[in-house]
Amino acid sequence: MPELPEVEVTRRSFAERIANAQILAMHMGKPLRWPLGVATQSLVGRTVLGVRRRGKYLLLDLDQGLLLLHLGMSGSLNFAPSQAVAGPHDHMDLVTNLGVLRLHDPRRFGAVVWAASESAPEAQKLLGRLGVEPLDGQFDVSTFAEALKKRQSAIKQVLLAGDVVVGVGNIYASESLFLARIRPTTKAARLSRPRIERLHSAIVQVLNRAVMQGGSSLKDFVNAEGRTGYFQLEASVYGRAGEPCRVCETPIRSLVQGQRSTFYCPQCQKP
């Protein structure tokens, strides 16, 4: 599923091109995870001021209100001067004078939701519980350490929950913990300050590298320009159960935590 880096890569691939576009029409296909919450007709004539990201949501700021977009499990966006006739998995076309933004989402866990403002209930319902952004200045090591001290669950679970730091999904949590040499099952509250510092910088490093490389937790991930990412090719542990650790050659192990697969090196990553 698209994780934070893929969503950020998607944002960068069309944010500048769609800025100042005027909405000419909006077409919605089959129902998505949540309803749009407004008549499509009422968006005609609005201007797209820009595109921000909060966690895995893209926020299209309009001159009145905003649209929150989520890619769900399998969604991708494409922004192009024109689009072919919508196929069975194309569920939104935002037609503007600068191009058409299309959401393609075979599994339909994605969403397009209108909100009057970011603080309106319909937006807060989706954004309200999100932790700090790992890729901007708010993510500081002391606050991170304070938050972890209060958590009795496994560090991997805490990262995935998204309320301490947002957008560190399954792949990037596994990779960050490998880089920080921390066993995914270690209780968050038991991590020492030096280990937390290593984890903090590992998260930033892993996410930034994924964004730089074009982001891909999905083999078929494509950004809004139609280019694929290749992060998956370089994973240290994710998806490599039984294969030798790239550092010490011990076979990588996998286990299931909270119904998600976790991968780690039993030699490099200490409990």
Q: How far is the CB of 134 from Zn ion (least distance, A)?
A: 24
Residues 249-268 that bind Zn ion (CB under 5 A): 250, 265, 267-268
Q: How far is the CB of 177 from Zn ion (least distance, A)?
A: 12
- What contacts 252, CB < 8 A, 6 or more positions away? 237, 240, 241, 242, 243, 244, 245, 263, 264, 265
20: left (phi over 0), alpha (psi -120 to 50) or beta: left
**E strands within the chain?**
21-28, 47-54, 57-62, 66-70, 76-80, 90-96, 99-104, 111-115, 253-257, 260-264
Task: From the candidates 53, 56, 108, 198, give the one annotated as an active-site residue.
Answer: 56
- Which of 97, 248, 258, 270 touches Zn ion by CB under 5 A? 248
By the rule CB under 5 A, 245 interacts with Zn ion? yes
**Number of neighbours of residue 174 by Cβ within 10 angstroms:** 30
Q: Are 207 and 53 in contact (CB under 8 A)?
A: no
- Catalytic-residue membership of 260: yes
Instruction: Determine the size of the site formed for Zn ion (CB under 5 A).
Output: 7
Contacting range for Zn ion; rule: CB under 5 A; set: 75-83, 100-108, 228-236, 242-250: 242-250
Question: Which tokens belong to 72?
Answer: 């769900």
> Residue number with the shortest CB distance to Zn ion?
245
- Catalytic-residue membership of 2: yes
H/E run at residue 172: helix 170-179
- Which of 150, 247, 251, 270 touches Zn ion by CB under 5 A? 247
- Catalytic-residue membership of 3: yes
Q: How far is the CB of 237 from Zn ion (least distance, A)?
A: 9
Q: 3-class SS at 119? A: coil
The nearer residue to Zn ion, 9 or 265, going by C-beta atoms, is 265
By the rule CB under 5 A, 212 interacts with Zn ion? no
**Footprint on this chain of Zn ion (rule: CB under 5 A):** 245, 247-248, 250, 265, 267-268
